[in-house]
Amino acid sequence: MKKSFLLLLLFLTIGLTEDLRAQTTSKIIYCEIYSMDRSFSDKIKVRVDYGTEDRFMELQDDLTRKSLIFNSMIDALNYMAKLGWELVQVYKESEKTHYILRKEIN
């Protein structure tokens, strides 16, 4: 009986250790987005800064590499949310409103 209990305890400990290890290996990344008005249109393009040298790239479709066009900033935020990004903070600088987002990656 003692051996069975110790064996069960060992398996539970290993399981908890694996869960803790999985939690510590995840990483949070951030990006910043803001909108660009399009001439003669009520639609917008969105620029994004992932913190790389190519700062403020336009959001593009992964397959076609064409710039994505959104109905509004809320439309763009919903798109980013579908990709797993979470809104953290919003601030206004001059005429632009900037949106800071974060995403947990493994």
Cα 38 from chain centre: 25
| Residue extents of the structural domains in the chain | 27-105
Residue bearing tokens 């999985």 = 22
Provide the sign of the torsion angle of the four alpha carbons 65, 67, 72, 77, taken in this order: positive
* SS3 state at 88: strand
Give 28-47 pLDDT, tens digit per residue.
999 999 987 777 788 888 99
Structure confidence at residue 35 (pLDDT)? 87
What is the pTM assigned to this prediction?
0.69
Structure confidence at residue 53 (pLDDT)? 78
Q: Is the pLDDT at 106 greater than 90, yes or no?
A: no
**For the CA atoms of 66, 67, 68, 71, what is the dihedral angle to 10 degrees?**
-130
Give 48-98 pLDDT, tens digit per residue.
998 887 777 888 888 888 989 999 999 999 999 999 999 999 999 888 889
State the burial class of residue 71 (Cβ atoms within 10 Å of its Cβ: 0-12, 13-18, 19+): exposed
- Selected residue with higher pLDDT from 99 and 38: 99
Structure confidence at residue 20 (pLDDT)? 53
Measured between alpha carbons, how far is 80 from 58 in angstroms, rounded to an integer? 13
